[in-house]
Structure formats: structure tokens, C-alpha cells
Structure 1
Amino acid sequence: MPSRQKSIFLLLVLALVANAGEWHFDDANAGAGLVTDLRLSASSQVEAAAWAEYAKGLYILGGKGATFADAAPHFSRALLHLPDSPYLLRTLVGPRLVAKDWSACMAELAPVVAAHPGAVMPNLVYADLLEEMGKRDEAIEHLQKTLATTAWGDARVVKELAQKHWAAKQGEAAADLYVQALRHESLRDNVTLACAAAAIWHAYAEVLLAEATEPSWGLRRQVASWRKRARRQVMALAKRMEAAGDASASKESGFDERLLVGSLLADLGEWKRLEEYIDTFAPTLAGGASRFAWADLRLRLLGQRQDIAAMRSLYRELLADMQLPRALLFAAGEFYLEHEQLAEAVEVFERLQGSEPNNMGLRLQLAHMYLQADAPQKGMALLAPVSVLPARGLLLRAHLWRRLGDQERAYADMKKAAETAKAGKDDDFFSIGYYFTLAMICETTGRIDEAIEVCRIAYKREPENPACANFLGYLLADHNRELPYARELIDQALAKEPDSIAYLDSRAWVYFRLGLVQDAMIVMADLLQRDGEQEDSEGVIADHAGDIYAANGYMQLARFYWGLALDKAGGEDARRIRAKLAP
């Protein structure tokens, strides 16, 4: 049967039932033992009327050219009959919320909340709509009326009202609301409400302290009082959970209230008590539905203790489970990165990226990790399927091309990245690191004038940054440009970081270019005594040392340092150094 015909059939049946008060049968039927009184109870009549209105709405919605607005009055009347039906509520407000049509949604919901001020869900939604429309004070007032109408009988109203007080920066009102709520017998045993109360009390104490430039004795006493109340609440909840055991986790929703209490112990810094709390439940956690959340809580405890070995062991155990949630998987990857375990981090992020192939952020992060792991081919393969890379993706690919030795493609991607960032008005893209990288690529590809100009831009942006001063000074010196100015720039950098090996090398080199070879040798000897060679990954300092010692007539020393430089250099630099070593 086509859906529209089904709707018509349902409409007719429900309308008939809804309007039936009493059906009469003849005496023959009664004599046959058949039921003759088919009158509906009052509640059944209300329910039938509600679903009849719902069916009418569906019927209208299925018509050609019909819109939700045509059916909404019927859905509204259906909810008016059954205000506690979550299904009817979703039917009425769902499409409006998706379309963000707050005013229409409010208009359709208004008759329901007016007729049923004690119906919790419609009134909560109505208050949210008021807030969305910038009427937070009205939303708070509406919830206060709902709370009074329900006689403080529903924790959801309390929590929503407290949240709105908090969002309005009415922390004291939110905190006091929970104090009042927990005095009501109907709410006293609600664990989630008690946890929310403790969280608000603790947060309010911290806000009070943070907002006071010079806390008075009275304010400190108030802060201590709220902290004490929060701590007392959480400690009592922890004891209650331990006494209840697994019962506190056996909810239909699958929600584990024990976890909520454990998180609060962590938030309050009660680490010793948290350890005892976790150990109490440890035997029952293996294989449970909430095992990952408990593991996350234990990781917080271990992180606070800085027990890296135990964290590493727990992450290894968790990663063996292929059902590990994304949040913990990502945390594992971040942990490995933070503790310089790049290979392990790569494995984790490969797993993440495999499960989210369309996540550009993960793709770029993994490609960057391949670059760090000196696996540029893998990085390029990961970026290859992406037809349009963002500015930072192009920058990353430029670094990969550079590592692969293709400087021209690296240059092209650097320029394209800049164009993309400018088009997107991404001013944060143009960091000092971008200019340094572009300058190095320009120099490598023979674009010396452009390299110097790029360094000038970087120095102009951050004239107090010694790295900018040194980079420009060294580049000028290396190409015999503006040597007095280059010396001035390098001196400026060393004034701020006098022990920098890189800056001392720049000074030695600018002295050499200026013909002050003895001064250059003194500076070079000083930095070599400081183990400057250890920071010379590409052999540049050793190469400079060789040239400076040769200029001073110490050829054996020169050849020694050129030999060290050759061991680290590659490509054109290696060929140039070999020429110096030739007999």
C-alpha cells in the first residue's frame, strides 16, 4: 500500500476511534457473549485524538507541494494532547530546529507550554528557544515557573536553570539553586544532580578567586566555604558509590555514575582518594562497557603523578583493543609525540587516518610526522589524492619536496601557499618560519635577491627577534652584500643571545668576509671550544672553520675541518668541499 494511502487509512481509523464515545450492539450480540461496551477511557480518548492529529499532519505533509508549515498545526495539537511524548515533540520541533527557525518553533510550541506548564520537555525546549533568540532573562524566568509548577520534582529543570544562570554569569544564583534543590527529598538521592551541584560549587569558588585582584578576608572565607561544600559532597558520593558497588552502573542508559564521581575527585585534586576509588572498582572493570572511560580516568591520575612508564604501559594495553575510542586513540598519539616516540605516534595516527580518510587535519598531521621521520615519500603519497590543498598543506608539501631534493617544486608550492593564504585572508599563515623557509629555498635555487628581500620582510615584521636579525645578517655576509650592515645585524642578535653558537658562527663569517681573518679565527676558536661542532648537523660551521683557518695559514687545521664538513655535507656543498681538499 503506498505511503499516502497508509496515512489516509491511519487517519480514518484514529479519527473514528477518537470520536467514538459508545458503540451499540443488539441483544443478540450480548447473548452471544460478545463485548458490547467498547467505550474508551478518558486517557485512551486523549491518546487516540493525539495520534489522529499526528496522522492528519502526516497526510498533509505527503501531499504535493506541501510544506512543514502546513502540517505543523496538527503536530502542535497532537503534542497538546500528549505533552510528555518525546516522539511528538521531536516531530514538531525537529525540522524547525534544523532550519534554525526559532520564532516559528516558539509559536507552534507556545500553546503546549501554556496549557501544560508542568510538562518538562516542552518547557525545557521552549526555554532554550528563548535563549537562542537572545532572551536569556525570559528563559530563566520561564524555567523558574516550570520548577515551581513541578514542585522541584524533576532534576532536569534544576540543571537546565542552573546552566542558564551560569551562562548569564550568575554564578551565585546557580550555586544557591543547587543548595535549595538538594534540600528537597525528591531530588536528594539523584546522583547526577548531586555531581552537578558539586561541580558548580567548585567552579564558582574558582571564579570568585580568579575575578578578585586582591581577595579580601571575607571573600577568601566564602571561597573556602564553597570548596568545602563541594569536597564534602564529592567525598560522600564516593562512599555511596563504593557501598553500592556495581549497582550504580546498572542503568538502562548504560551510564556509569561511578565515573562521574571519579571525574569530580580528579577535578577537585583529590588524587589519593581517586586512587583508592579506582582500586575499589578495578576487579569489575575489565571488559565492561565503560572500561575505556575508566582507563581515561586512570591516565589522568598517572599523568598528575608524572608516572610516564605506567602511562606508556597502559596506552600499550589500550592500543591492543581495536575498539579503542577515537578520543583515547588520539590521546595516545599525542602522548607518544610529547615523549618523542615518533614511530609509535606514526602507528597511532595511521590508524586514526585510516578510520577517517576525509579528515584533512589528520592527513596533514600524519604527513608532517612522515616528514619528521625522514619518510618524505610516504608524506607525498598521503597528500597525493588531495586535489586542492589548503595553504598549510601546500607549505607542508613544499617541505616534503625540499627534503626530496626538488627545490623548484618546493619554491612553487611556497608561492602557491602564500597566494592561497592571502585569498583566504589568513594573516596568521605568514609566520617567521614561513619567511625563513622561503628564503632558504630561494637561496638554494639561486634567487639570491629574492631570498634577501624575504629576510628583510621577516626582520621588518619582528625587528626585536634575534633570529630575524641573524638570518638577514648572515645571508648578506654569505653573499658579500652590505657587509657593515650585516655585521651590525649579527651584533644585534648576539647582544640578546651572546652564547648562541649559530650567531657566533655568523660573527666569525662576517669578519671573514670583511677581511678581518684574525678576528674571525678568534671567534671561531671560541665557539669550537663550546662544542659548537655538536650543533653543526650540516657541516656549515666546520666548513667555515676550514676557510678561516686556511686564510690564517693553518692548512692542516683547515683540512681537518673541511674533512669534518664533508662527512656531513651533501650535493653541491660536498663537491665544493672536495675541491678545497684536492691536492
Structure 2
Amino acid sequence: MNRRFGRILLSLGLSTACACALAQSPHPPAGTAPPIVSSAEGLDGETLYWTLIGEIALRQQEFGSAAQAFLLAAQHARAPELARRAAEIAAITRQNEMLNRALTLWRQVEPNAETIERFERMRAELDAQREKAVLAQLDEILRRHPEQLPNNLLGLNAALEELGDPEMARRIIELATTPYLEYPEAQLARAEAARRANDLLTARIAAEHALSLRPDWDLALALWAEILGELGETDTAIARLETYLREYPYARVVRFTLAKHLAVTPGREEESLRHLEILLANAPDDAQLLQAVALMAERTGHLDRAISALEHVISKGGDNVDFLRLQLAQLYLTAKQPRRAESVLRQITHPALEDQSKRLLAHALAKQGKIDAAFETLDQTRIVLDPTTEVLLKSRLLQDADRLEDARRWVDEAIAELGDEPDLLYEYAMILERLGRHESAEGYLRKLIALYPDHAHGLNALGYLLADANRDLDEAERLLTRALELAPNDPYILDSVGWLRYRQGRLEEALSLLQNAYRRQYDPEIAAHLVEVLTVLGRHEEAQALLKQATARSPDAEPLQRVRRWLEQRNR
């Protein structure tokens, strides 16, 4: 079940009562440490500053700021009492990430197991008290409002989100729903709770139980399909969703779920787009659908449709309009319309997007050949760049402007000044490769690996270079195996290993690896590799469909032109 639906179906009675139970102002319990600033003796200036900030924030009930301030004070002073104070505030106010950081520091500065064990026991007692109180509230609501029971059961997960603890929410929901297990809504609530707690097998069983009680329930089928997708059984989910839609073609949540599953299935992205556009036809101003259509249209090479959908969303305004402008600018750049990208980027005013928009603006300017303006724009970002990062970013701008030789000299000068930094050596090798200087590129990659033997991208680049040239495949195997160990989910490394398997004649393995890579990251070179392997396996229709889609998305990509020439020669 999409979590949005849980919120929509949440009854007023449930949300109001749970708010009362969950939103009580959390204060440190009796027996915790007194205010640290009662005595400033022994605290230096910076520690005292952050401690004061923490006390002020605590009195104003700004608990996130308070915990952060005490943690900063503890880090500076290496003081266990400050680390404990940060941990107490974070624990009571359910700031789990902050709590873990505070506990880590506390253990470092005071490796006293007994002290921390006492704190953990206190924390567990507080959790148990909170769990009991919330469960009592829910029991009362569910019993008091039998006429709203199905909706209230469906709203449990949304109501308990504020706990910030999926395992606790799951325990509460299992107990609260025990008297109502004959209701499909209770089973669905359990399924969603187990899913949020990452117990997918239990979630699947509960969702299937809900469907057995109510076989024609769109929400239950959609949640079941989402769970199967997370279990890696996407094909099974798709088959059942398609069967259901043939009988119930107006089941919008089922169609949307099917579109999501098709979107991550190589070769079926066009079907995903068609389903989304069917939904959009009945809700042409739905912002969520418009953004989904834009995403899938871009992925399938229909850039005009993607741009049109985003322009429509932006025209409606809203809180996230600047974020959408950022996406639209990226689409304009993909469509080789840098001037329009520049125009859109200059309209972005949200402070949180300032640096990101300026970096993208620099690329838009570079693609128009305005290198000086691009460099100046990059220099205007608020984040202070380290020298290596600045060199890399400006190298990419020069490459955007098709000034490869200038980019090579730029990085070469940086290596002379900054030394053999790994990322600079890698960048230099990649530029040489683009310039067609393959032997020199190989030499720099070997130098990189000799100096930095665990540089995953360097290992990958050299391994791919050898595999692509169909030589020294045993060495390529060693290099790529190590690269994959260092970065097992990197799509470009998966692509390289897949291409190596193709060179070794292990076609089914190659196909699986390349499909995995393409699913994780669109790239015209990965697409070209996949087209070639599909063709050799005799899956010509899939290969042609993929090539058409990738070409629409990246019409000038050299790897796609290369595989097209290969196909023409093969068919002669």
C-alpha cells in the first residue's frame, strides 16, 4: 500500500487521539543529569558556547538543536557527561540517528559498560512505557468507534509514523489488531507494519491473508505487489497485476503500481509510460502523475513529452517548484537546449538549491561555449571546494564545451602542482581515452593502480579497457573481480564485468549482469552492450526495442552509433 493512501484513509478520530498520545512534550526524566551550565568551571570557550546553546534550545523545546549542540560540546571537550546529555535528549525525543552518534562518542570517551548499560535499561523502560501508553490509546479508539473500525485499522501505520521506530510501531500494531484479525484491514495494517520493519516475508503472508479475505481489494493487491518487488519477484507481481487490470481496468492504484514495476523491468519501460498516461488522462493536473510521466518519458527517450509534463507541473506553482525547475533544466541539457536550461536555472531562488543550480548553470554555460562565465559561476557557489574537486569540476566544464585538449592540459597542470592525486590521475586517463590515446590512457591507469591498488574506478577502467580490446582477459578478470569486491553495486563495474563475460562467451551471465547495470543506471554504453548481447542470444526484437529507446534518449551517443554499425555489418 502506498503510504499516501494510509494518510488519506486515516479517520479524524484516530489521528486526533494519537496526536495526543504521541505529541506530549518530551522532557528529560527525573534522575537525569542537571543542566551542565550550572557550573562553567573547567569548560573552555567553545565547549561553554555549545553547552549554553544546548540549554537554551532545551528550554525552548527545540530538541533537535539541543541534542546537536550538546553533541558538539561533547566532541570538542571529549566529556562523557555532555555525551550522555546528548544521548538522553535524543533518546527521549526519538532522534535515533543522533542517539547512535551520541552513544558512539559516549562509549569512546567513557568505556564504562555499566554506565551505558544503565542508560540503555532506562531507555528500554521509557520505550516500554511509551509503547504501553500508545497501545492503550489505540485500543480505546478502536473499541469506541466500531463504525470507523476499517478506516482506523488502515490508519494505524500513518498514525504511528511519529514514533520514529518501525519495530515499536510493528509491535503495537500486532497487539492492537489482534482482536480484529477477521478484518482484511487489520491484516493489511500488519503487512505494512512488517514491511516498514523490513520483515518482507511476514509482510507478504499478511498481505496474502488480506487478499484471501477480500480478493478484489485494490490496496491489498498493490501492497502485495510492492512487497514482491522488494523481494525480487517483480515478474510474478506484474503477471498478477496485469490479470487484475483486465478485469478491473479502472483500478488506479493497481495500474500505478504496475507502472512502477514495469519501469524497472528492462525492455518494458514504454509499457510503464503508457499506463501512466492512461492515469494522467483522467487526472491531467495530478502533480505526482505528471512527475512520474516526465521521469518515464525521459527514460524512454521521449524528451518532448517529459519536458511538457514538467512544464505543466511548474505552471501550477507549489512549494517544490524550484526543485522541478532543476529537473527541467537537466532535461533541457539532455535535449541539447542549454539556453533554455540557463533561463530556467536563473529563476531558481530557493536557498537550499542555490549551489546545485549554480553548478548546473555552469554546465549550461559551458555547453554554449561560455567557459569564462561557467568558471565564474562555479566560483560563486557557497561551498568552498578543495583544490582537487575544483580541478575536476572545471575539467568537466571544458569537456562540456568540447575543449578536450584544454581539459587535458588543465588536469596535467594540476597533477604537476598537486601531485599524483588518485582522482586526478583517473580523470587524466579518461580524457586521454576520449582523445583516442588508448596506450597513454592505459599507462596512466596502471600508474594509478600501482599507487592506489584499491581505487575501484581505476581497476574498473583498466579491466574494461582490456575486455573491450578482447585481450589479456585473465588480467581483466582479476582487476574487475577486485573492483566488484570494493563496489558490488556500482552499475559501471557491473557493466564491465558483464562485457568481460560476453568476451569470454558466457552469454547468460553477461546478460544478467548487463540487465542489472542498466536497471540501476541508464547509460548509452551499457545500452549498447545489452543490445549486442541480446542480439547474439537471438533476442532480436528486445534488442531493437532497446536500441530504439536508447537512441531516442541519446541520439548522438557514439556507443549506440557503434552498435548500429555492428548490426548493419552482421545483417549483410
TM-score range, shorter chain: 0.3 to 0.5
Q: What TM-score do you get using the length of structure 2 for normalisation? A: 0.44
Q: Which has the higher contact order (CA 8 A, sep 6+)?
A: 2
